Homo-oligomer: A and B are copies of this chain.
């Protein structure tokens, strides 16, 4: 049993980059906190494998991105669930913090 405090990982990099903090990596799931600078796009991607992921918005606003230009508004408390094999991404409008859980881990 371990506790991670996400208020301790609130770090951003200027210039449209992202920072990330590995919260957990086990055979069961991987949990990652990404902090996106305002304007940064986490590019749409997918992996050809079984499994699903969730993306929870902790802070900030932007859009969840999907295949064929799909875009869904994203605000704190919004959670996207996607197949790992399905195209997914995030565009940060403001500074944006997200928590990604991938099961099984990539």
Q: A52–B79 contact, CB under 8 A?
A: no
| Per-residue interface assignment for chain A, residues 23 to 37, with 1 indicating a CB less than 8 Å from any chain B CB and 0 otherwise | 110101101000000
* Residue with the highest number of chain B CB atoms closer than 10 Å, among A4, A78, A81: A81
Given A1-B86, A1-B88, A52-B24, does the pair A29, B78 have CB atoms closer than 8 Å?
A: no
Q: Which residue of B lies closest to A54 (CB)?
A: B31
Q: What secondary structure prevails in chain A residues at the interface with B?
A: strand
Given A1-B66, A99-B56, A101-B101, does the pair A23, B79 have CB atoms closer than 8 Å?
A: yes
Q: B26–A52 contact, CB under 8 A?
A: yes
Q: A80–B5 contact, CB under 8 A?
A: no
* Residue with the highest number of chain B CB atoms closer than 10 Å, among A31, A64, A70, A88: A31
Q: What residues on B are CB-neighbors of A64 within 8 Å? A: 1, 3
CB<8 Å pairs between A and B, sample of 8:
A3-B79, A3-B81, A4-B79, A7-B75, A7-B77, A28-B50, A31-B101, A101-B101
